[in-house]
Amino acid sequence: MSNKVKNNHLLSYPLIALASSGDVDAINTVLKHYEGYIATLSTRQLYDESGNPHLCVDETLRRRLETKLITKILAFNVA
């Protein structure tokens, strides 16, 4: 499974098929592929006690998004 992610940054069909069948390594590869996007979606602007803004990843939201992705992967019907 060395070409799980091709040069065009798309997930391969065999990887998707393995992930949808419940293969843990394939699911982890899909999560790794989308980790930057998930981190971007879960980034929030927080303020410290002085009122200075800071960007940080909301870990609860990040975990919820990962869980939702895993749920959708396992429910995906590969034709």
Where residue 5 falls among pLDDT bands split at 50, 70, 90?
very low
- What's the chain's length in residues? 79
Would you give the end-to-end CA distance of the chain in angstroms? 21
Residue 21 CA to residue 24 CA, distance in Å, equals 9
Model confidence pLDDT, tens digit, residues 29-76: 999 999 999 999 999 999 999 999 999 999 999 999 999 999 999 999
Residue 18 CA to residue 9 CA, distance in Å, equals 18
Where residue 4 falls among pLDDT bands split at 50, 70, 90?
low
pLDDT at 10: 92
DSSP state letter for 58:
-
pLDDT at 9: 85
